[in-house]
Amino acid sequence: MRDSIGIGMAGFGTVGTGVFKNLRANGDLIAQRLGARFEIRRIAVRDASKARDPEAPKELFTTDTDLLLNDPDIQVVIELMGGIEIPLAFVKKAIAAGKIVITGNKALLAEHGQEIFQLAREHRVPVFYEAAVAGGIPIIKVVREAFVGNHFESIHGILNGTCNYILTRMTETGMDYAPALAEARDLGYAEADPTLDINGWDAAHKTIILASLAYGFWVPPENIFVEGIETVTAADIRFANELGYRIKLLATIKSAPGEVVEVRVCPTLIPQGHVLASVNGVFNAVALKGDVVGETLFYGRGAGQDPTSSSVLGDLAEAACALKSSRFCYGFTSHNLYGNCQPTDKTISKYYLRLSVKDQPGVLAEIAGILGAAEIGILSVIQPETEDENAVSLVLMLHDAPFGAMRKSVEVLAKLPCVRDTPALLHVESFS
């Protein structure tokens, strides 16, 4: 029971260094628990001369990824390179060479998962990716294995720590978006270029992976609605609070009538009493509702060297099991349960609509008339006090309506002479 399993690692950034460090620290423990010892035999990097963790022997490093693939003593490769095209080529070659693949690359899987898993199936090589979604939270294992007996009614996730930190700070302090982003940068919670975080696409990549796994078909990125947090204002957060909600960048995946799946990632109002509303700072959480298990929630750190390393170590254990067994057990998209995403315009939601209007008689009647003509019902209206009579805020909570009809109505409203600035439209999730 003391097999040695050879690892080749491609990429030695934050997560790669963490895997190296934690495997050194906890390697004995893992060997005792698992009956297998992992040995990092080679590390491929772009610049072999760069200063590294002094504990990592210089002779491990190479700039030639083929050395990992051609080494018969390497059974598992860990892809932590970043980017898409280079890792895609590497992963495909690794699968063809019969290496078990572990990756934390969410963009790679969201955009090329279908191709990668098709190839993996042909070569009977498992590909593990726990580190790609929600950092240290083992949500892939939960969806794939623990809840294998469930139809998923809904999956809601807070999947980007940077956005959640920014929105949490805006909520706690009343500060605007820009200073909150600056603070996140100062603390290292936002990267120098935080575009993919704040425009929602980092969370969207994770959402695509989760939805694809849960529903058994590859969700096309172009079929989901993605909106970032850049346009969320301190006023929206304040108004939402008055109405009993928190604003979170929320991933929503749910089965809709007609065996289609609604998938969106956008700033969303969540009732303050819901447990996801209490997930603050850089933490991530996934709330999952299955037809058998009922409501569940999984919470933890969604990023960072150590939490993400923990997921890679878990995947290494999976790899060790796969090496001992004749074939890999859990399928991925083989069940193909629901074959389609609901087109964005047909997805149904409640909405929060903030308009900046001239304070004059008849404005509300005009707005209500336009919404009524589109069969969009008004749940409540608040008109917070403002000093400027040329631009007072009008906040409407709206009934369930198709997103397409909602967007069209907002376009009409935006053109009214009494409406100033661009209207702010946000989804509202009532978890019903």
Residues annotated catalytic, as ranges: 206
Q: Does 149 bind its own copies (CB under 8 A)?
A: yes
Instruction: Return the axis-axis angle of helices 363-373 and 403-414, rounded to nearest 10°.
Output: 150
CB of 35 to its own copies, least distance (A): 6
In the complex, minimum distance from the CB of residue 297 to its own copies, in angstroms, rounded to a whole number? 4
Rounded Cα distance between 277 and 245, Å, is 8
- Check binding of 147 to its own copies (CB under 8 A): yes
**Positions in 209-268 near its own copies (CB under 8 A):** 216
The phi-psi region of residue 285 (left if phi > 0; otherwise alpha if psi is between -120 and 50; otherwise beta) is: beta
Nearer to its own copies, 267 or 290 (CB): 290
Q: Per the structure block, which two tokens stand in for 69? A: 């693939």
Which of the residues 86 through 145 are near its own copies (CB under 8 A)? 130, 136-138, 141-142, 145
Is residue 342 within 8 A of residue 255, CB to CB? The reply is no
- Exposure string of 215-235, with b = 16+ CB inside 10 Å and e = fewer, is bbbbbebeebbbbbbeebebb
Among 14, 22, 223, 386, binds its own copies (CB under 8 A): 22
Kindly list the distances between the CA atom of residue 218 and the CA atoms of 8, 27, 293, 305, 334, in Å, as whole numbers in the listed order. 28, 36, 24, 29, 10
Q: From CA 168, how far away is CA 146, in angstroms rounded?
A: 31
Task: Sheet with 61-62: list strands edge to edge.
Answer: 61-62, 36-44, 3-10, 76-79, 100-103, 127-128
Burial zone of 2 (CB within 10 Å; 0-12 exposed, 13-18 middle, 19+ buried): exposed
Of 217, 302, 183, the C-alpha closest to 251 is 302
Among 84, 97, 256, 317, binds its own copies (CB under 8 A): 317
Q: Report how far residue 267's alpha carbon sits from residue 271's, in angstroms, rounded to the nearest whole number.
A: 13
Count of residues touching its own copies (by CB under 8 A): 63
Residue number, 291 or 345, with CB nearest to its own copies: 291
Residues 334-353, mask of contacts with its own copies (x by CB under 8 A): xxxx----------------
Residue 30 contacts its own copies per CB under 8 A: yes
Q: Among 204, 318, 353, 410, which residue sits at the site for its own copies (rule: CB under 8 A)?
A: 318
Smaller CB separation from its own copies, 146 or 414? 146
Q: Which is nearer to its own copies, 138 or 228 (CB)?
A: 138
Region 153-172 residues binding its own copies, contact defined as CB under 8 A: none
- 324 near its own copies, judged by CB under 8 A: yes
Smallest CA-to-CA distance from 214 within 143, 118, 264, 137 is with 143
Contacting its own copies within 349-408 (CB under 8 A): none
* Residue 187 touches its own copies, criterion: CB under 8 A: no
**Which window, 31-39, 82-90, 107-115, 364-372, contacts its own copies (CB under 8 A)?**
31-39
Of residues 162, 234, 164, the one with CA closest to residue 193: 162
Residue 29 as a binder of its own copies (CB under 8 A): the answer is yes
- The residues, any chain, with a CB within 8 Å of residue 226's CB and separated by 6 or more, are 199, 200, 201, 204, 264, 265, 266
Count, residues in the chain = 432
> What DSSP string runs through 75-97?
-EEEE---SSHHHHHHHHHHHHT
Q: Does 274 help bind its own copies (rule: CB under 8 A)? A: no
CB closer to its own copies, 13 vs 331: 331
Least Å distance between CB 53 and its own copies?
16
Q: Which of 13, 24, 33, 178 binds its own copies (CB under 8 A)?
A: 33
Name which position in 9, 23, 250, 413 contacts its own copies (CB under 8 A): 23
Kindly list the residues in this chain that would bind its own copies in the complex (CB under 8 A): 1, 22-23, 25-26, 29-30, 32-35, 130, 136-138, 141-142, 145-151, 216, 275, 278, 290-301, 304, 306-307, 309-311, 313-314, 316-318, 320-321, 324-327, 329-331, 334-337
